């Protein structure tokens, strides 16, 4: 088995000519991944787990070229297929696959491959993930968060060159997710093993990932830095899976350089959109809720170009944040911290001003 990557060495994953028939569509992927943590993001049933299985060598595609670093793992054209056990890949599946009849220690040592790298020693991984008190317990006595850390530690003890995580936090509530995410960040920072992370959770993606691949019905709909994809979804389908809270039909009134004036009903908005095709008239107007700032009281000039007098329709809790639904001539959603919401003392019927910077309004041609 090849050694784990040395500190500072970039390891790329090349996925070319992937063709793998699934029940309702064919998984077709051509991407190169170089970021420390790349999220494969998409709705359930979009082919995310199947893609991980192909990378891990657990399934064979009709057509595939998979290369990790300098090693070709799969090349159907030349009948090359490296078995899963020899790929040097750690995998944490959705069900964690811990052995219930073994102790935590026995689970951790299953597949342990010491390679002389001090980062991958048993004691170091146990200490980093803070599971020392668990090693003599039975797996069935662990909480959900403890099982997640044990499964992650077991994958790391194989001294992987690449780590695959399949919705590792899907069954945890928001409080537990918030506690586990720092451990994943430690793995990224301490071990410098590239991670391919499957999820359809926006909070996990924004908290952890560098790059993301949006996968819809087996096709790569968009790839790029996380903030760029969330701020500039390439299509309405991508905006939909990213849960962009406000998507409205609009009509372009004027374009001057990159500054676009767009009408949503009777409301005029200013947007900065350099990538609109020439001649575009009808657009979808996309606004993320966390890009909306709320003020109470007089509307004073400030850097945001869009000042929207609004009334509060509802205030509801959404995870660790508060979601505020507004009426400003159209429906607009804002996400605030609980503290900000309490400071504004927001309640239905209140008058506020919603501020949205022009670069935070994204236009998709209709």
DSSP output for 249-308: EEEEEEEETTEEEEEETTEEEEEE-TTPPTT--EEEEEE-GGG-EEE-S-----S-SEEE
C-alpha to C-alpha distance for 173 and 12, rounded to whole angstroms? 33
pLDDT, position 365:
86
pLDDT 10s digits, 86-144 = 999 999 998 888 999 999 999 999 878 776 566 778 888 898 888 999 999 999 999 88
Q: Average per-residue pLDDT in the chain?
A: 88
* Mean pLDDT across 239-250: 87
Q: Which two tokens stand for residue 315?
A: 């205030």
Long-range contacts, 235-238 (Cβ 8 Å, 24+) = 235/364, 236/284, 236/364, 238/214
CATH 2.40.50.100 occupies which residues in the chain? 245-365
C-alpha to C-alpha distance for 57 and 162, rounded to whole angstroms? 13
pLDDT, position 341:
87
Q: Decide if pLDDT at 326 tops 60.
A: yes
pLDDT, position 173:
77
pLDDT 10s digits, 39-50 = 999 988 999 999
The strands making up 246-256's β-sheet, listed across from edge to edge, are 267-272, 259-264, 246-256, 282-287, 361-365
* Mean pLDDT across 245-271: 89
DSSP 184: H
Fold for 13-237, please state it. Answer: Rossmann fold (3.40.50)
Contact (Cβ atoms closer than 8 angstroms) between residue 286 and residue 332: no
Q: Decide if pLDDT at 182 tops 90.
A: no
pLDDT, position 353:
92
DSSP 5: P
* Mean pLDDT across 176-181: 81
* Mean pLDDT across 40-62: 94
Contact (Cβ atoms closer than 8 angstroms) between residue 282 and residue 253: no
* Mean pLDDT across 53-78: 96
Contact (Cβ atoms closer than 8 angstroms) between residue 232 and residue 222: no
C-alpha to C-alpha distance for 365 and 63, rounded to whole angstroms? 34
Q: Which of 40-44, 48-52, 254-258, 266-270 has the weakest average pLDDT? A: 254-258
Tally of CB atoms within 10 A around 182: 11
Q: Which two tokens stand for residue 136?
A: 């003599």
DSSP percent split of the chain into helix, strand, coil, nearest 5:
25, 35, 35
C-alpha to C-alpha distance for 174 and 283, rounded to whole angstroms? 35
CATH architecture observed for domain 245-365: Beta Barrel (2.40)
Phi-psi domain of 349 (left: phi exceeds 0; alpha: psi -120 through 50; beta: other): left
Q: Which residue has the higher pLDDT, 10 or 198?
A: 198
Tally of CB atoms within 10 A around 282: 12
Q: Decide if pLDDT at 319 tops 60.
A: yes
pLDDT, position 112:
80
Q: Decide if pLDDT at 21 tops 50.
A: yes
Residue 10 confidence class, pLDDT cut points 50, 70, 90: low
pLDDT, position 1:
39
Residue 280 confidence class, pLDDT cut points 50, 70, 90: confident
Residue 301 confidence class, pLDDT cut points 50, 70, 90: low
* Mean pLDDT across 153-163: 90
Q: Which two tokens stand for residue 310?
A: 């609004």
| Side-chain half-sphere CA neighbours of 118 within 13 A | 1
Residue 2 confidence class, pLDDT cut points 50, 70, 90: very low
pLDDT, position 7:
46
- Of 125, 135, 185, 205, the closest CA to residue 158 belongs to 125
H-helix or E-strand spanning residue 312: strand 306-318
Percent of the chain with pLDDT over 90: 49
CATH 3.40.50.300 occupies which residues in the chain? 13-237
């Amino acid at each position: 088995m090849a050694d784990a990557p040395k500190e500072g060495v970039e390891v790329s994953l090349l996925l070319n000519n992937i063709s793998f028939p699934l029940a309702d569509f064919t998984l077709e992927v051509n991407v190169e991944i170089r970021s420390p943590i790349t999220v494969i993001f998409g709705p359930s049933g979009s082919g995310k787990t199947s893609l991980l299985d192909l990378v891990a060598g657990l399934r064979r595609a009709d057509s595939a070229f998979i290369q990790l670093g300098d090693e070709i793992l799969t090349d159907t054209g030349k009948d090359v297929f490296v078995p899963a056990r020899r790929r040097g890949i750690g995998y944490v599946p959705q069900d964690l696959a811990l052995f219930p009849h073994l102790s935590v220690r026995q689970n951790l040592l299953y597949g342990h491959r010491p390679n002389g790298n001090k980062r991958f020693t048993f004691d170091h991984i146990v200490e980093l993930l803070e599971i020392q008190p668990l090693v003599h317990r039975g797996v069935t006595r662990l909480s959900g968060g403890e099982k997640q850390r044990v499964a992650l530690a077991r994958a790391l003890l194989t001294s992987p060159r690449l780590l695959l995580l399949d919705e590792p936090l899907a069954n945890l509530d928001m409080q537990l997710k918030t506690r586990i995410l720092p451990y994943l960040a430690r793995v990224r920072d301490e071990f410098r093993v590239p991670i391919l992370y499957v999820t359809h959770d926006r909070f996990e993606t924004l908290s952890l990932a560098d790059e993301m691949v949006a996968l819809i019905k087996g096709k790569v709909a968009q790839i790029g830095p996380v903030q760029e994809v969330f701020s500039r979804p390439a299509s309405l389908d991508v905006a939909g899976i990213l849960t962009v809270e406000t998507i409205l039909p609009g009509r372009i009134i004027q374009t001057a350089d990159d500054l676009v004036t767009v009408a949503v009903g009777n409301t005029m908005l200013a947007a900065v959109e350099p990538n609109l095709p020439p001649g575009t008239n009808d657009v979808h107007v996309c606004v993320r809720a966390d890009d909306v700032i709320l003020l109470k009281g007089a509307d004073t000039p400030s850097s945001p170009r869009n000042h929207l007098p609004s009334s509060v329709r509802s205030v509801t809790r959404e995870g660790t944040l508060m979601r505020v639904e507004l009426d400003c001539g159209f429906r607009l959603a804002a996400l605030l911290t609980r503290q900000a919401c309490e400071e504004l003392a927001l309640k239905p019927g209140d008058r506020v001003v919603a501020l949205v910077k022009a670069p935070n309004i994204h236009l998709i041609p209709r």
